[in-house]
Amino acid sequence: MAANSTSSATPLLVSRGISKQFSGVEVLSDVDLDLMPGEIHALLGENGAGKSTFAKILAGVYRPTRGTLTMNGAPVEAYSPIHAQRLGITLIHQEPISFPDLSVAENLVLGHERGSLLGRVHWAGMERRANELMDMLGIRIDVTRPMRGLSIADQQMVEIARALVGDSRLIIMDEPTAPLTPKEVETLFGIARKLRDEGRTIIFISHRLEEVQALCDRATVFRDGNLVDTVNVADVSDDDIIRLMIGRSLKEYLHKQRTTIGDVALKVENLTLPGVFSDISFDVHKGEIVGVGGLVGAGRTDVARALFGVEPAATGKIHVNGSEVAIGDPSTAIDLGLAFVPEDRAVAGIFSSLSVEKNISAAVPGKITSGGIIRRALEHAVASDSVKKLRIRLASLQQPIGELSGGNQQKAILARWLLTDPSVLILDEPTRGIDIGVKAEFYDMIGELAAGGRAILLISSELPELLALCDRVLVMSEGRLTANFDRSEATQESIMQAAVPRSADQEVAA
Amino acid sequence: MSVTEKSEIAAAPQRESASARPRWQVMLIRPELMTFVLLIIALIVASSLSPYFLDIAYILDSFTLSAELAMVALVLTIMIIAGEIDLSPASGMALAACTFAYAQQAGVPIPLAVGVGLLTGLAMGLLNGILVIRFQLPSIIVTIGTLIFYRGLAQVIAGDQSIRVPEWFIGINRVLVFGIPVPVLVFVILSVVLGFVLSSTIYGRQIYLIGTNPIAARHAGIRANRIKMSLFLLIGITASIAGMMTASRLGSVRYDIALGGELQMVLMAMLGGTYIFGGRGSILGTFLAAWLLVIVSTGMIVANILPAMQLCVLGVLLIISIIATNFIYSRTQR
Ligand SMILES: Nc1ncnc2c1ncn2[C@@H]1O[C@H](COP(=O)(O)OP(=O)(O)OP(=O)(O)O)[C@@H](O)[C@H]1O
Ligand SMILES: [Mg+2]
């Protein structure tokens, strides 16, 4: 633990022997970690390694089964989010939880009001304070508008500002960058650095190693609930970190094999949903992987939802395997051989209180029944097969899926759709939150599916992913298709060029 | 750099091999167990009040008074699991009983009159279903509306007097099969059938799915509207059967049959651990709760507790059961 002693300053927060069991299963064992003031500290590890659990213990969401936390030399004893907040620890959730109908300013001070005797709220003072904070962070958000309608990035900024209202010394960000555009990520990093320079401590959880290299001072790697090592980021390479994370080096993902490309499986003509996207035309052949690049909010998800019948387009034609079809709802889409892995897992994917098994089998009733009756053994076999294939980490198939780590939930949803054996597979940010070890395997799987004659439409904000996997890359910007690159033409630059909104052109060029 | 030596930890035991949560814990967190324990306690207390409660025939006989409501409560349980609610079936029992009685009084042969009653049930379910599904109105409001409407309609048809039913149609509760009154038997059989459907068929599974997360269910290709419509029809027709069984038990029909019965139905479902926000619950729970409720209400009568006080007890029971169920469910998902 050489890295732990690099700083001679006294640590802000000391964790000793922190352990957590859920129903007798230990998911975090004896974590000893010193967090220094003025550092950005990455937590790394595979899906289910215990990062979020540790973060939640620090933030008072979970009570540790064993171990002690010391903040500024004083033991932390009462564990509750409010208590942690008072001590100056704030957890910024991946999906910010706030009060959508209250204004930004109100959300900022909520729970922090010192409260005069009669609980009167000082509106003017509140707004002034909110504006000061926004200026300090260098972000431009009108503090009088309601939270509803802010972009995810802006909502995150408000959450961060909220932490500053309470003068938090430790700010924990659990996978904050996943839903952000590259530019928003840069803004976030700028703010994080600024906060660090003020002497605050930031915990940063991410699966993107390049972000860790760019932002973090130290990194702690978890594996199977154990703290494996804490390192100075400057001293180690990505490969070292990966080896710490998965206990071996990562197998290199090679470009997708060229497969024989067959007939058109999905053909879209002039698809339009007013105000959302317009005039979308493209096709996907059997055996082909077509990527859709673009910035978050470019309308890619809306097109996918329209194709799958979740919110059908107003005009335009869709052909599946040569015949024109009307897809009014997802069940029709599924009958036609479509599958859709949605971006928003919590809302459109998981049945949180139901078992992993039931979640995996949800879209394939035919595979778990005989004579209309559910055969438990069949269902169990189907589900455990998927769990093995995708290496989903869980205590039992009967466990509610809400108890799995974020990445493992994502894998279970993937498993559900792979089971439908679709002829057209639409994937919306499928690797969001999935660790690098599994990503490569997932890419292999997509490649295999394509080789087996399936048509794949892959929406992704990760350019390397698009470049490595796709035969063609479409780019969307502001609801329109702006490019259709062949594999040879697609580069990071050409995709980004087509992705930026015309209105913001200059800004980016600058 | 400690990278290599630390990699030894790779040999640390994998969590996949960790044992699942202990069996007893899985059992304990089931709300049906709470219902079962309450049932045993109620039996002990009641039999200390009156030795009658040790006599199974006495309990069965008391149960016939609630069997009709309990039948409907079973379907209501499924409805709540699917994320909807129907408060109109007690009124529906009265309306179906009235159309049936009116038809047979007007000279329609009994089998046809029964058909009229069943059709009434279907029509009531259809109306509720259309309002909730087609017009996307909240079922709690819609069915409070139809609760009043169906009861009013019953009064329009039957007027203020009671309509007698033919002598031979009276007394279904006195007919014993293997020593069990027919209404109780019907309730038990319905419990077994619905319990099986809910737990072991795709239809039942999809009911849990749409109640747990309607949006994800839609994405998974589940036709929630069809399922919900079928449930409204099912509860309508069950209510009509229950209404006609009540007519047979009472020997005559008035518009105020099963007045306020929706409360007992909801109480049975809640006491049985059905989660008011949908997605969780079981037929077994409601089955046990129905017996619990009969023993508590009969026990209170035996103990000479004032009717007003009895109502208080039922109200408190309802609130406690909702709190307990919520608590149990929140504990399983920290
Ligand atoms: N409430 C809970 N009940 C039971 N087990 C849980 C609960 N929360 C987390 N776990 C288990 O603890 C382990 C660690 O989960 P955690 O969410 O900390 O992982 P993570 O490192 O954040 O992973 P990811 O990268 O996928 O987000 C997982 O195996 C998970 O199944
Ligand atoms: Mg996590």
Q: Which residue of A has its CA nearest to B201?
A: A373
Mean per-residue pLDDT, A235-246? 87
Helix H segments across chain B? 3-6, 23-28, 31-49, 56-81, 89-105, 110-129, 139-158, 182-200, 202-212, 214-219, 224-250, 261-271, 283-302, 307-331
Residues A191-201: what's their mean pLDDT? Answer: 92
Cα–ligand 2 centroid distance for A450 (angstroms): 30
**Chain B residue with minimum CA distance to A235:** B1
What amino acid occupies position A411?
K
Specify the pLDDT at position A143.
81
Mean residue pLDDT across chain B = 87
8-state DSSP, A481: E
Q: Average the pLDDT over each of A400-414, B27-41, B221-235 and give the range with the smallest value.
A: B27-41
Count of CA atoms in the C-beta half-sphere (13 A) of B2 = 14
**Residues near A140 by beta carbon (within 8 Å), at least 6 away in sequence:** A134
A8 pLDDT above the threshold of 70: no
Label residue A294 left, alpha or beta by phi (over 0 means left) and psi (-120 to 50 means alpha). left
- Examine residue A3 and state whether it is found in any structural domain, yes or no: no
How far is residue A135's CA from residue A129's CA, in Å, rounded to a whole number?
A: 10
Report pLDDT for A254.
58
Asked if residue A50 has its Cβ within 6 Å of ligand 1, the reply is: yes
Other C-beta atoms lying within 10 Å of the C-beta of residue A18: 22
Rg from Cα positions in chain A: 24
Convert the pLDDT of each residue in A361-396 to its tens digit.
999 999 999 888 999 999 999 999 999 988 888 889
A336-355 average pLDDT score: 92
- Does A194 reside within a domain? yes
Tokens representing A163 are 């932490």
Verify whether ligand 1 is closer than 6 Å to residue A410 (CB atom): no
Q: Same domain, yes or no, for A224 and A280?
A: no
Predicted confidence band of residue A121 (pLDDT cuts 50, 70, 90): low
Do A203 and A214 belong together in one domain? yes
Rounded Cα distance between A449 and A259, Å, is: 11
When comparing pLDDT for A251 and B104, which is higher? B104
Residues A491, A446 share a domain: yes
Q: How far is CA A77 from CA A32, A62, A471, in A?
A: 17, 12, 56
**What is the C-alpha separation between B73 and B70, in angstroms, rounded?**
5
A94 falls in which pLDDT band (50, 70, 90)?
A: low
Which of residues 254 through 273 in chain B touch A, CB cutoff 8 A? none
pLDDT at A313 over 80: yes
A236 with B3: Cβ contact below 8 A: yes
Report, as an integer, the average pLDDT of A120-125: 66
**Is residue B133 less than 8 Å (CB to CB) from chain A?**
no
**Does pLDDT of B1 surpass 60?**
no
Q: What is the pLDDT of residue B333?
A: 46
A416 and A306 assigned to the same domain: no
* Residue with the two structure tokens 């409204």: B232
Total domains, chain A:
3
B200 closest CB neighbour out of A223, A373, A398: A373
pLDDT at residue A298 in the model: 87
Q: Would you say residue B100 has pLDDT above 50? A: yes
Say if A499 falls within a structural domain: yes
Contact B65, B221 (CB under 8 A): no
Structural domain span for residue A356: 351-420
What angle (nearest 5°) sits at the alpha carbon of residue B71, between those of residues B68 and B75? 140
d(CA B268, CA B69) in angstroms, rounded, equals: 9
A250 vs B contacts (CB less than 8 Å): none
Flag whether A8 is in a domain: no
More confident residue, B302 or B193: B193
According to the model, what pLDDT value does residue B142 have?
96
Q: What is the rounded average pLDDT of the residues B290-298?
A: 92
pLDDT of A122 above 80: no
pLDDT at B15 over 70: no
- More confident call, B7 vs A389: A389
pLDDT higher than 50, residue B6: no
Query: CB–CB of B329 and A1 under 8 A?
Result: no
According to DSSP, the β-strands at A170-174 and A201-205 are parallel
Q: Using CA coordinates, name the residue in chain A closest to B24.
A: A23
**What integer pLDDT is reported at residue B7 of this predicted model?**
35
Same domain (yes/no): A173, A203: yes
Q: What is the average per-residue pLDDT within A468-496?
A: 90
Q: Which of A223, A247, A271 is the last residue of a domain?
A: A247
What residue owns the CA closest to ligand 1's atom 6? A403
Residue bearing the bigger pLDDT, A345 or B76 = B76
- Binned at pLDDT 50, 70 and 90, residue A330 comes out as very high
The structure tokens listed for A89 are 């620890």
Do B205 and A348 make contact, defined as CB atoms within 8 angstroms?
Answer: no
* Helix, strand or coil, per DSSP, at residue B13: coil
State how far the Cα of B207 lies from the Cα of B81, in Å rounded to an integer: 7
Distance, C-alpha B244 to centroid of its chain = 18
| Digit-coded pLDDT (tens) for B67-81 | 999 999 999 999 999
Strand partners, A66: A19
Angle between helices B182-200 and B283-302 (to 10 degrees): 150
Does A420 have pLDDT greater than 60? yes
Mutate which of A21, A172, A405 for ligand 1? The one with the most ligand atoms within 8 Å of its CB, which is A405
Taking the Cβ of residue A463 and every Cβ of chain B, the question of whether any pair is shorter than 8 Å is answered with: no
Q: How confident is the model at residue A7 (pLDDT cuts 50, 70, 90)?
A: very low
User: 3-class secondary structure for A337-405?
Assistant: CEEEECCCHHHHHCCCCCEHHHHHHCCCHHHHEECCEECHHHHHHHHHHHHHHHCCCCCCCCCEHHHCC
Q: Would the pLDDT of A445 be above 70?
A: yes
Say what the pLDDT of residue B29 is: 64
Residue B103's CB is within 10 A of a number of other CB atoms, namely 20
Q: Is A147 or A470 the better-scoring residue by pLDDT?
A: A470
What percent of chain A has a predicted confidence (pLDDT) above 90?
47
Of B9, B221, B329, the CB nearest to A334: B221
Final residue in a domain of this structure, among A420, A439, A461: A420
Q: Is the CB of A49 under 6 A from ligand 1?
A: yes
Listed in sequence order, the DSSP H helices in A110-208 are 123-137, 152-165, 182-197
A415 and A426 share one domain? no
Bigger pLDDT: B174 vs A110 = B174
Look up residue A65 and give its DSSP letter: S
pLDDT on residue B10: 34
Q: Which ligand is nearest to the CA of A208?
A: 1
Question: What's the pLDDT at A463?
Answer: 87
Q: Provide the pLDDT for residue B13.
A: 33
Q: Are residues A52 and A157 in the same domain?
A: yes
> Hey, is the C-beta of A178 within 8 angstroms of any chain B C-beta?
no
Tell me: do A241 and A274 sit in the same domain: no
Domain boundary among A404, A420, A436: A420
pLDDT digits (tens, 9 = 90+) for B234-284: 999 999 999 999 999 999 999 999 999 999 999 999 999 999 899 999 999
Phi, psi of A382 (to 5 degrees): -60, -45
On whether any CB of chain A is under 8 Å from the CB of B209, the answer is: yes
The pLDDT of residue B301 is 86
Establish if A2 belongs to a structural domain: no
Residue A284 pairs with which residues in a beta bridge? A266
pLDDT at residue A497 in the model: 86
Location of structure tokens 């419509």:
B229
CATH number at residue A146: 3.40.50.300
pLDDT for res A380: 95
> Rounded CA gap, B96 and B291, in Å?
25
In a domain, A124, yes or no: yes
| Same-domain check for residues A88 and A228 | yes
Long-range residue pairs from B124-128, CB within 8 A, at least 24 positions apart, any chain:
B124/B88, B124/B92, B124/B95, B124/B96, B124/B150, B124/B236, B124/B239, B124/B240, B125/B232, B125/B233, B125/B234, B125/B235, B125/B236, B125/B237, B126/B232, B126/B233, B126/B236, B128/B86, B128/B88, B128/B232, B128/B236
For residues A323 and A396, membership in a common domain is answered with no
C-alpha to C-alpha distance for A384 and B18, rounded to whole angstroms: 15
Which tens digit of pLDDT belongs to each residue from A123-174?
A: 677 788 788 888 877 777 888 888 777 777 788 888 888 887 778 899 999 9
CB contact under 8 A, B209 and A350: no
pLDDT(B17) > 70: no
Q: CB-based contacts of B261: which residues, under 8 Å, 6+ apart?
A: B69, B72, B89, B90, B93
pLDDT score, position A6: 46
Sign of the Cα torsion B206, B209, B211, B217 reads negative
Ligand 1 contact via A241 beta carbon (within 6 Å): no
In a domain, A447, yes or no: yes
| Greatest pairwise CA separation for chain B in angstroms | 98
Q: How high does pLDDT run on average in chain A?
A: 86
What's the confidence (pLDDT) of residue A5?
A: 43
Whether A428 and A404 map to the same domain: the answer is no
Q: How far is A349 from chain B (nearest CA, A)?
A: 5
pLDDT (average), residues A94-98 = 61
Q: What end-to-end distance do the CA atoms of chain B give, in Å?
A: 39
pLDDT at residue B48 tops 60: yes
Cβ of A45 closer than 6 Å to ligand 1, yes or no, is yes
Query: Are residues A140 and A195 both part of a single domain?
Result: yes
Span A422-448, average pLDDT: 86
Q: Which fold has domain B25-329?
A: ABC transporter involved in vitamin B12 uptake, BtuC (1.10.3470)
Query: Which amino acid, residue A466?
Result: L
Distance CA A113, CA A68 (A): 30
Contact of A396 with chain B, judged by CB distance below 8 Å, is answered with yes
A1 touches chain B (CB under 8 A): yes
Percentage, residues of chain B above pLDDT 70: 90
Is position A63 within any domain?
Answer: yes
CB-based contact A22:A61 (threshold 8 Å): no
Decide: B68 and B243 in contact? Cβ < 8 Å: yes
For residues A409-418, give the mean pLDDT.
Answer: 92
